[in-house]
Amino acid sequence: MAEERSLNFLEEIVEEDIRRGKHDGRVLTRFPPEPNGYLHIGHAKSICLNFGLAIKYGGKTNLRFDDTNPVTESVEYVDSIKKDIQWLGFTWDKELYTSDYFEILYEYATTLIKKELAYVDDSTAEEIAAAKGTPTEPGRPTPFRSRSVAENLRLFAEMKDGKYPDGSKVLRAKIDLANPNMHLRDPLLYRIKHAHHHRTGDVWCIYPMYDFAHGQSDSIEKITHSICTLEFVPHRALYDWLIENIGIFPSKQYEFARLNMTYTVMSKRRLLELVNNKHVDGWDDPRMPTISALRRRGYTPASIRNFAERVGIAKRENVIDVGLLEFCVREDLNKTAWRRMAVLDPIKLVITNYPEDKTEWLSSENNPEATDGEGSREIPFSRELWIERDDFMEDAPKKFFRLAPGLSVRLKSSYIVTCTDFLKDDSGIVTEVHCNYIPGTKSGEDNSGMHVKGTIHWVSVPHAETAEVRLYDRLFNVENPAAADGDFKDTLNPESLTILDKVYIEPDLKNAEPGKGYQFMRIGYFTLDTHSAPEKLIFNRTVGLRDTWAKEAKKA
RNA sequence: UGCCCGAUAGUAUAAUGGUAGUACGACAGAUUUUGGUUCUGUUUGUCUAGGUUCGAAUCCUGGUCGGGCAACCA
C-alpha cells in the first residue's frame, strides 16, 4: 500500500541529516502547545507533521506544554490537548512541561549574566520599547545596560526572591541594539509576574519569555528538529545565539507555513472570543474548527490525518478550501458509515393499492461499499410512508427523476411506485401524495424488467421514530473573516445552525452508537451528538453528500 | 523607506538544469436500487524584465506583488 509521494522540504532536511549521520541518525521532534486554548485543525497539521516525521524516520515525539505564562494557562486546556492528540491517533514519548525546567533555565540565565551577556533593566516597558528604535533606526542603551556582573547577579536573585513588584525589572540579553533583526536588540529573557502557576504554584514569581524557554527546552530534551511556523523565522537567530552562548545541545529550528482555511478563523484569540461572547456553544461547538468540535461533529481521525497529508508542507502562505476537509471526511465515511434512512422534511406518501394493516420487513444492506459483508438490517414497510418533500413536484422538469403525477420511482430496498394523485391544503401546500405500488418489483425479487431512473428513501409512518437533527453551515459568510474590515464577528453567518426538532428515522437508528458515523441515504453523514440521550436522540450532520441535482436545479 | 520569508492552473502541492505532473474544484460522459460511490475524458499554470546555458519553473541580477519583524504573548 506504500504510496509514492515526493518528499516535502522538511523530510528532505531530515533525510539529509540522517545521510550525514547527524546526531547518529536520531530523530526527535516535539509538539509544543501552550495550554491556553483548545487545539484546532491548524494544530492538527502540526501534530501530523511532527509525529509523522518521527514515525517515518524511526524517531520519537515529545509532548511539551509551553507553560511560561501562568496568567492565561490552565489544566483544562492541558487535558483537552492530551485527549485530542490521542484521539488523532498519536502517542507521545514523554509528557513534559517547560515549567519542569524553570530551575535549570534560571541557572542558564545566571550563566549569561556571568558572561556579561545579560543584565537587569529597571526601565518601564514603554522606555524599553522606545529605546529599541525602529526597523530603520538603531536602538540605544538604557542606563542599566552597563551594570556589573555582581550587581546583575544580586538583582536577578532578588527578582526571583520576590523583592520587586510586577513590571519593575526585567532580565535582558546583551546582544546588539543596532541589529537589523529586532529580536536581537537585547531581547527580554525574564519578567516578574506574581501569578499562580497551574503546575509550579507560587514557587516562582519570575517567568522566562518564550525565546528564553523554547530553544532551551528543545536543547534539554535533545530535540533534533524543532519545527514551528513561519512567524518564528526572525526568532531563529536568537534561538541559535542563546544555545551557542549558554553552550548546550544544538537543536535546530525549522519553519513551515501554518494552515489557513476558507470561511474559518484560526487564531486562538479569535476562537476564544467566539466562546466568551457566546457566538458558539463552547470550544467544541460543531461549527468551530477545533479538534474537539470536529470530533463532536463526526469527523474521523483518519479523515483529519488524510487532510493534513493532502494540504502539504511548504513555506508559502496558503488558504486551503474548506471543501478539501469535507472531501476527506466523505471519502472516509463513505467506506465505513452504515446506511440508514431518515426523512428531514416530511410529506406523506400513501400507497393506495397496498393493504391497510400489512407490514413487510425488508432487508437492506448496511454498507454497499463493504466487501466483507457488513450485513444488513430489517426495515418495516407499510401503506403510509414519510418521504422527503423535495422528492415530489407537481410540475416536474424533464430531468426530474423523482415523484410527480404519472412518474415512477423505486422506493429504496422496496417496490417501484407510480404517482397517481396528490392533495393540497387551502394555501396550496402539498399535504399528501398518492401512488400505486407494483407488486412484482420488490427489491431482490424483481423480475418485472421495469426500469426507473430514480430511487428515493422513505420511513414507514407507523414505525417511524423521531430525532432532533442539527444541520451546520459555515460559521462565517466570507472567505477570510480575519481580513474583514472592522470586527471579524460581523461576518458571522446567522444561519450556521439549523435545528430540526422532529425528524423521522427508521427504527434501527434507535441503536445508533456514539462516535459512529451514519449515512442518512441521499442526505449526508450524521453522528450522535454528545448531548444525545436514548429518550431524545440528537444527530449532528457531519457533512452533506455531494448533490449534483441541487447544482442542476440551481442552474435552471 | 531597514531586515527576513515567499511567489507554479480557481485552491493547494510536485518537478532539485532536460516532456510542467498530482490532488481538490469546475465541466462533459459511462455505470449505479443513494442525482452518493466508482470510472473515463476536458479545462485552466511557471509574477515580471534581463542574464548564464545547447537547454531555465529551477541558477544570477533588477523590479513587482504578498507575508512577517519594533508584546514584560507564544
Topology match between the domains A268-338+467-555 and A347-457:
yes
Task: Supply the DSSP symbol for A258.
Answer: P
Cell of A512: 445508533
Residues of A with active-site annotation: 34, 258, 268
Task: Quote the pLDDT of residue A3.
Answer: 45
| CATH code of the region A347-457 | 2.40.240.10
Looking at the predicted structure, is the pLDDT value of residue A65 above 60?
yes
Query: Cell numbers at residue A175, please?
Result: 546582544
Cβ partners under 8 Å of residue A16, min gap 6: none
Cell of A221: 530534551
For residue A385, what are the β-bridge partners?
A349, A460
The DSSP element (H or E) to which A64 belongs, if any, is: strand A60-65
- Nearest nucleotide to the CA of A553, by C1', is B35
End-to-end, the C-alpha distance of chain A in Å comes to 44
Contact A120, A154 (CB under 8 A): no
Q: Are A333 and A373 in contact (CB under 8 A)?
A: no
Check residue A373 and give its pLDDT: 67
A41 phi/psi in degrees, rounded to 5? -60, -30
Instruction: Flag whether pLDDT at A5 surpasses 90.
Output: no
The integer distance in angstroms from the CA atom of A129 to the C1' atom of B71 is 10
Output the pLDDT for position A494. Answer: 97
Confidence of residue A481 (pLDDT cuts 50, 70, 90): very high
Q: Which of A248, A221, A250, A222 is nearest to A236 (CA)?
A: A250
Kindly list the distances between the CA atom of residue A537 and the CA atoms of A367, A385, A512, A526, in Å, as whole numbers in the listed order.
22, 21, 9, 12
Torsion sign (Cα): A380, A386, A391, A395: positive
Positions in chain B where some atom is under 7 Å from a protein CB: 1-8, 10-16, 23-27, 33-38, 66-74
- Cβ atoms of A419 and A387 within 8 Å: the answer is no
DSSP A545: P
> Which residue carries 545579560 as its cell?
A118
Give the DSSP letter of residue A186: S
Here the cell at position A165 is 513588584
Output the nine-digit C-alpha cell for A365.
Answer: 444492506
How many Å apart are CA A333 and CA A298, to the nearest integer? 9
The domains of chain A are located at 9-256, 268-338+467-555, 347-457
Supply the pLDDT for residue A2.
37
Distance A312 CA to B67 C1' (A): 19
Strand partners, A434: A350, A421
Interatomic CA distance for residues A62 and A140, integer angstroms: 40
* A1: pLDDT strictly greater than 50: no
Which nucleotide shows the minimum CA-to-C1' distance to residue A390? B35
Fold classification of A268-338+467-555 (topology level) = Ribosomal Protein L25; Chain P (2.40.240)
Distance A524 CA to B36 C1' (A): 9
- Average pLDDT of every residue of chain A: 96
What secondary structure letter does DSSP report for A376? E
Q: pLDDT exceeding 90 applies to what percent of chain A?
A: 94
Nearest nucleotide from residue A311 CA, by C1' atom: B12
Q: Which of A444, A377, A447, A450 has the alpha carbon at shortest distance from A417?
A: A450
Which of these ranges, A4-8, A88-92, A151-155, A247-251, has the smallest mean pLDDT? Answer: A4-8
Contact indicator for A88, A47 with CB cutoff of 8 Å: yes
For the CA of A333 and the C1' of B9, the distance in angstroms is: 29
Q: How many CA atoms lie within 13 A of A260 on its CB side?
A: 16
Q: Does the pLDDT at position A371 exceed 80?
A: no
Q: In Å, how far from its chain's centre is CA A303?
A: 11
Each residue's pLDDT tens digit, A190-224: 999 999 999 999 999 999 999 999 999 999 999 99
- The topology (CATH level 3) of A9-256 is Rossmann fold (3.40.50)
Spatial distance between the Cα atoms of A218 and A224, rounded to a whole number of angstroms: 8
